[in-house]
């Protein structure tokens, strides 16, 4: 029997697969099924800064204090009734999920300005959250805002949330930062215990007949895993905080790659929407088979073995990979196909 146990944010996990934030966990029955299928923890869906500010406007004008542009932007966002759960319903669901299962339950907060809404992290903690995942999804559309201002805003927000709670905080990051190793080091300085690589961007599609821009949500494919593996492999051994990977984790091979890159654990959402919650059990069984066949006794013997620090040739992680990949492309092969 392979030992799959691991640690993430100081929490003991019984395996490497965590259910990432998805509406699937909004049903208590699903929460139980996730634990039965072998999920090591569950991150609940997010409470959004915009939603919390809308809710608290009615209760407490002061709470919506973030930035001025933030208050204006609320006018373009969904109405309160469009959000799936009010914060009270959310907290109650968190409490019930905690008592329904033994695995850790993480609350998810989603926003990008350090306003009064961060106090909801404390509410999540009081409702029993074992940790807080802070999703800092941000899009730079303002030409006067520099990249360092965006990073500073993220750091300020993370620091505020870390100060508000005693439970560990992880930060779900977007991929589009110029220096991820530097940002991760700064996140560690302000108190984050982990990073989650990476948010998926949900770009809208263009309807050229109706001349409309429409929101789209496609489930991920395993090819999206590559940038996550790349950055986890670069970070391994260079940060004291945990690295989790989300985005494109569908199979046993994907989970193994994440751990070999140096990840502490992996997260699944799309694969569960496509194949069902019981898919977790099948992936764990496939991993067990793979590891036993190669005489491993624990998954962690493989951890970081393909990280940048461990491989003899680091060029695949650097510019060398880019040059080699482009140079190895043979025009003759392509022409032969025609
Ligand atoms: C239907 C759906 C809803 C999601 N809602 C949230 C959310 O509320 N908060 C969040 O941080 N991520 C949310 N995500 C993103 C997932 O947690 C995950 O990071 C992303 O889908 C990449 O993982 P995957 O390739 O396994 O799907 C959602 C994903 C899906 C498919």
Secondary structure in 3-state letters for 2-46 = CECCEEECCEEECCCEEECCCHHHHCHHHHHHHHHHCCCEEEEEE
H/E element, 163: helix 147-164
Among the listed residues 37, 66, 257, the one whose alpha carbon sits nearest the alpha carbon of residue 156: 66
- Pocket test of ligand 1: the residue of 170, 267, 269 to mutate, having most ligand atoms within 8 Å of its CB, is 269
pLDDT at 124: 97
Atom of ligand 1 nearest to the CA of 267: 26
Instruction: Please report, for residues 134, 269, 329, the alpha-carbon distance to residue 20 in angstroms, rounded to integers and kept in the order given.
Output: 12, 6, 37
Confidence of residue 52 (pLDDT cuts 50, 70, 90): confident
State what percent of residues in the chain have pLDDT above 90: 71
The CA 24 to ligand 1 mean position distance, Å, reads 10
Tell how far the Cα of 86 is from the centroid of ligand 1, in angstroms: 19
Decide if pLDDT at 66 tops 60: no
DSSP-derived secondary structure for 69-87: HHHHHGGGSPPGGGSSS-H
Percent of the chain at pLDDT > 70 equals: 90
- Please enumerate in sequence order all residues whose Cβ is within 8 A of that of 19, keeping only pairs 6 or more positions apart, or say none: 25, 34, 39, 41, 42, 43, 267, 268, 269, 272, 280
- Span from the CA of 314 to the centroid of ligand 1 (angstroms): 32
Q: Does the pLDDT value for residue 74 go beyond 70?
A: no
Q: What is the mean pLDDT of residues 283-296?
A: 98
318 pLDDT tier (thresholds 50, 70, 90): confident
Q: How far apart are CA 282 and CA 203, in angstroms?
A: 32
Which residue in this structure is represented by tokens 């509410």?
123
Q: Which structural domains are found in the chain, ordered by start?
A: 6-336 (3.20.20.70)
Kindly report, residue by residue over 112-169, the tens digit of the pLDDT. Answer: 888 888 889 999 999 999 999 999 988 888 899 999 999 999 999 999 999 999 999 9
Distance 21 CA to ligand 1 centre (A): 5
171 in contact with ligand 1, CB cutoff 6 A? no
Whether 72 shows a pLDDT value over 60: the answer reads no
Q: Whose CA is nearest to atom 1 of ligand 1?
A: 22
Q: What is the pTM of this model?
A: 0.90
Whether 135 lines ligand 1, by a CB cut-off of 6 Å, is: yes
- Alpha carbon of 68 to ligand 1 centroid (Å): 29
In angstroms, what CA-CA distances link 65 with 116, 199, 270, 309?
6, 26, 35, 44
Q: 201: which 2 tokens?
A: 């961007």
pLDDT of residue 107 exceeding 60, the answer is yes
Kindly report the length of the chain: 338
25 in contact with ligand 1, CB cutoff 6 A: no
Region 302-320 average pLDDT: 90
pLDDT at 333 > cutoff 80: no
Q: Which of 274, 151, 145 is nearest to 217 (CA)?
A: 274
CB of 108 shorter than 6 A to ligand 1: yes
pLDDT band at 63 (very low <50, low <70, confident <90, very high): very low
Q: Can you tell me the mean pLDDT for 38-65?
A: 78
């Amino acid at each position: 029997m392979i030992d799959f146990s691991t640690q993430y944010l100081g929490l003991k996990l019984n395996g490497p697969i965590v259910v990432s934030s998805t509406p699937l966990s909004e049903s208590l029955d699903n929460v139980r099924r996730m634990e039965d299928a072998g999920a090591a923890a569950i991150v609940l869906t997010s409470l959004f800064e915009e939603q919390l500010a809308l809710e608290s406007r009615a209760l407490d004008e002061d709470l919506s204090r973030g930035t001025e542009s933030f208050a204006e932007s609320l006018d373009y966002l969904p109405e309160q009734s469009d959000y799936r759960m009010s914060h009270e319903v959310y907290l109650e669901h968190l409490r019930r999920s905690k008592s329904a299962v033994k695995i850790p339950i993480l609350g998810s907060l989603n926003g990008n300005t350090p306003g009064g809404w961060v106090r909801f992290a404390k509410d999540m903690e009081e409702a029993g959250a074992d940790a807080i995942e802070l999703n800092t999804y941000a899009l730079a559309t303002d030409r006067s805002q520099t990249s360092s201002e965006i990073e500073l805003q993220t750091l300020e927000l993370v620091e505020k949330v870390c100060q508000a709670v005693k439970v560990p905080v992880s930060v779900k990051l977007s991929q589009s930062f110029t220096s991820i190793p530097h940002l991760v080091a700064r996140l560690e300085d302000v108190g984050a215990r982990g990073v989650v690589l990476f948010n998926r961007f949900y770009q809208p599609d263009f309807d050229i007949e109706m001349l409309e821009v429409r929101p789209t949500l496609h489930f991920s494919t395993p090819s999206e895993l590559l940038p996550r593996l790349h950055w986890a492999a670069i970070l391994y051994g260079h940060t004291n905080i945990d690295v989790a990977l989300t985005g494109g984790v569908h199979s046993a091979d994907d989970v193994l790659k994440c751990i070999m890159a140096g990840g502490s654990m992996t997260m699944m959402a799309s694969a569960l929407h496509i194949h069902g919650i019981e898919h977790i059990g099948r992936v764990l069984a496939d991993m067990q088979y793979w590891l036993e066949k190669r005489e491993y006794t624990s998954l962690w013997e493989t951890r970081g073995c393909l990280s940048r620090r461990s491989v003899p040739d680091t060029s695949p992680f650097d510019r060398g990979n880019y040059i080699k990949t482009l140079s190895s492309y043979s025009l003759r092969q392509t022409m032969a196909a025609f």
